[in-house]
Structure 1
């Protein structure tokens, strides 16, 4: 495993998993966490403080919503940049499929390319004659 935890030490991870489940918002509870509904107190974020392996120290998230919105804007922009090539390819394929449905043929050769052309003619006796 990534953290090199022995499989026999799973018992020590159960409280961590339970805490994560109890503090996560659930759609069936109106997007509220079970702990928040049980205690009536606002639910703390599970990522309010986390360990940054690159800096090798604990990092706290900003408490102000302005700083959080700034980070969210940066995240949204980077996600859009990551997914843009996929969206472009999807649009290109969709337009090509629409052209094919309308019967438009797309050619994949240019001037100067060698093209093999065939013509099928009917011969006597219901046989086909292919000319290349």
Structure 2
């Protein structure tokens, strides 16, 4: 019986652990308009990879978030690319000249520091940085 128990314990130690979902609410003045956001993501504890969704609650648009959540003393540093994913694309032509597959939504960079239940974030869109502070939702 003891011989059987050791391999079972070794296998359960290697089993993937459930990653808790983190939900954050925030708002800021982005592109000259007040915007409300919900950030939902998971973090892989071994690789520190962050994956999730940033929802602009003002416009209803959802963006994919992919980056890192690196632990530092007193909190974590977040750096993540924000993309529109497979959103709408522009295809247009006039007199034989045109554009094809141009995304209508710009990609962005979300970065900042998490301390406790506060995420002091910067959202960089087209090279312009906007402060978007987030609070962790219960």
- TM interval, short-chain normalised: under 0.3
- The higher radius of gyration belongs to 1
TM-score normalized by the length of structure 1: 0.20
TM-score normalized by the length of structure 2: 0.19
Higher-helix-fraction structure: 1
